[in-house]
Structure 1
Amino acid sequence: MKKYLCTLCVVVLFQSCAAQSKPNLIDAELETVTTEKLAYYLYFPEDYEKETEREFPILLFLHGGGESGKDLTEIKRNGPPKMIVEGKQFPFLILAPQNPYQKKWWNTRALNQLLDSVVENNRVDKKRIYLTGLSRGGGAAWEMAVQYPEKFAAMAVICGMTPLPYAAWIDKNMPIWVFHGEEDESIPISESETMVNRLKGMGYDVKFTRYPGVGHNSWIQAYKTEELYDWFMRQERKD
C-alpha cells in the first residue's frame, strides 16, 4: 500500500440574486478557491503490474473520526487498510484518504476531485468504482452517494449518519449494503433502520446486516465479511 500526498484546488462559484425593488441589494458574483491537502494510501492488487492491459475496479474507503488528523498511519487501524497490513489481498485498487480535521466533516468535493485524479491516472474501470465508509466516513459515503449519484457502482456503509431527506437523490440502480450494531450509542441503529426502510419503500436494492449486542465498532465484523468483497466485484454500472 503506497503513501501519497495530494493538494487539491476546489473552485466554488457563489452568486446572489437580489430583488430589484430594494436598491440596497446588489447582484454579485465571486469565484473563490479553496485548497485542501489530502494525504492518502493507494493499494494496488497483485495482478496490477502483471496484467498491463487490464482495467481494475477501485474502492474508495473513508475512515471514522478516530483516524482523522495529520498522522497517516492512523488509517491502518481499521477497515481494509488494517486488513492489508495483516496480509489480506484484495482484487481491486483501494484509495484510502485521511480527513485532516479531527473535528470537521469530510470535504466531499475534495474527495471527489481526488478520486477523479486517481481514476484518470491509473488503469481503473470507471464502471466499477465502489464506495465504503465507517462512522463519520460512513456519513460521508452517504453524502457522496447523494452528491455524485452517477459515479459509484455499489456502496457499503457501516454505522454512518444518513441524509434521510435526500434519499431519493441516490442512484436507484446502485446496490447498497448497510451494517450497524444494535447497541450503538454513538450513532443509533435507528439512523440506518430509517434510511433502509425509506430506500426499500422506493424500490432500492438494499441489504441490511444488524449485529445484536454490538456497539459502535460494528466495522470489525462488517469488514471481515468475505461476501462483502465478492458482492462488490459483482457490481457494475450499466449506464
Structure 2
Amino acid sequence: MQNKVSRFFMFLGMSMLQACAAQSHLVQDELETVTTENVKYYLYYPEDYFDSQSKEFGLLLFLHGGGESGRNVEEIKDTGPPKMLVEGKQFPFLILAPQNPHAKKWWNTDAVVQLLDSVVQNNRVDKNRIYLSGLSRGGSASWELATQFPDKFAAMAVVCGMAPLPYAHWIDKNMPIWVFHGDQDDVIHVKESDDMVKKLREMGHNIRYTRYNGVGHNVWDRAYTTDSLYTWLAAQKRIK
C-alpha cells in the first residue's frame, strides 16, 4: 500500500489569471490588473511513469464537489478517483485533482485550465489524451470547461452536475461524454442531465447516460466505482 500511495503527491501552486483591461473616463491610458489564485492540488503518477523517460501518458482532470471546497486539502481524498487511489487502486493515466479554494464560490475555470496547462507542459502527457471529470459543483464546472475549451479534452464524465443547456452547441461533437445522475437527487435535479443528454443526442453527440433509480445526490459513490468508466476513458483519444 505504501508504494501505491507514495506516487500521489500534493502541491501548492499559484495560478496567474489573465490580465483584464478597462478604459477609464478619468485616465486616458488603458488600465490593467493582474490577479493570482493559490491552488492546492494532488498529482498522481502511474506506477510505470518513472520507468521510462520517453513514454507519454494520458491525464485525468478531476474536479471535486462543494463539500470539499475551501477547507483542508486532504478532504479531496474523500470522493472520486482520489479516494480510490488512497484505497490502493491503480490507474493507467496521471490524475490531477485541484482543490477549489472557495467554500461558497464556483470553480475558477480559468485558474483550473492554467494549472492543467502547466502540469501538461512539465510532465510527459499526451495532449490528445486529456480527460475531464467532476461531481456536483465539479460536474457543473466540467460542463463549463467543455463549452469554453472544446478543443482540449478527449473525453468527459460528468456526475450529477448542473448542465448549461443553452450552450450545448459549443461542445465538440467528437468528444465522447458519459453522464451519471440519480433520479432522487434533491440537490441538483436529474432533469439537468436528462435535458442535456437529450439535447446532445439530438445534435448527434456520442453520449452515454447512466441514470440510477432510487439514488440521491451522492451518486458519485456508484459512478466512480464503475471500473468500465476508466477503461472507457483510457481508450479515448482526441480526434484532431
Aligned residue number for residue 17 of structure 2: 10
1:228 aligns with 2:229: yes
Where 1:232 maps in the other structure, the secondary structure is: helix
Where 2:204 maps in the other structure, the secondary structure is: coil
Partner Cα distance (2:85, 2:142) in 1: 21
Give CA-to-partner distance per residue, 1:105-133, whole Å, 9 cap, x none. Answer: 00000000000000000000000000000
Where 2:81 maps in the other structure, the secondary structure is: helix
Amino acid at match of 2:62: F
Distance change >3 Å, CA 180–CA 28, structure 1 → 2? farther
Partner Cα distance (1:119, 1:70) in 2: 26
CA shift for structure 1 position 238: 1.7
Distance change >3 Å, CA 51–CA 104, structure 1 → 2? same
Runs of 4+ in 1 over 6 A off after TM superposition: 24-28
Identity across the alignment (%): 62
User: Gaps spanning 5+ residues in structure 2: where?
Assistant: 1-7
Aligned residue number for residue 68 of structure 1: 69
Aligned residue number for residue 197 of structure 1: 198
Amino acid at match of 1:13: C
Aligned residue number for residue 140 of structure 2: 139
Pairwise CA RMSD: 1.6
Partner Cα distance (1:70, 1:198) in 2: 36
Distance change >3 Å, CA 198–CA 14, structure 1 → 2? farther
Give the alignment of 1:46-61 within 5 angstroms.
46-61=47-62
* Kept in 2: contact 1:80–1:223 (CA 8 A): yes
CA shift for structure 1 position 26: 9.6
* Kept in 2: contact 1:15–1:28 (CA 8 A): no
Give CA-to-partner distance per residue, 1:71-102, whole Å, 9 cap, x none. Answer: 11000000000000000000000000000010
Distance change >3 Å, CA 162–CA 25, structure 1 → 2? farther
- What's the TM-score once normalised by structure 2's chain length? 0.94
Amino acid at match of 1:8: S
Aligned residue number for residue 79 of structure 2: 78
Where 2:209 maps in the other structure, the secondary structure is: strand
Amino acid at match of 1:12: A
Where 1:49 maps in the other structure, the secondary structure is: helix
- The farther-off stretch of 3-12 and 214-223 is 3-12
- What's the TM-score once normalised by structure 1's chain length? 0.94
Give the alignment of 1:1-239 within 5 angstroms.
1-15=8-22, 29-239=30-240
Partner Cα distance (2:146, 2:170) in 1: 8
Partner Cα distance (1:46, 1:27) in 2: 57
Partner Cα distance (2:61, 2:166) in 1: 24
User: Gaps spanning 5+ residues in structure 1: where?
Assistant: 19-23
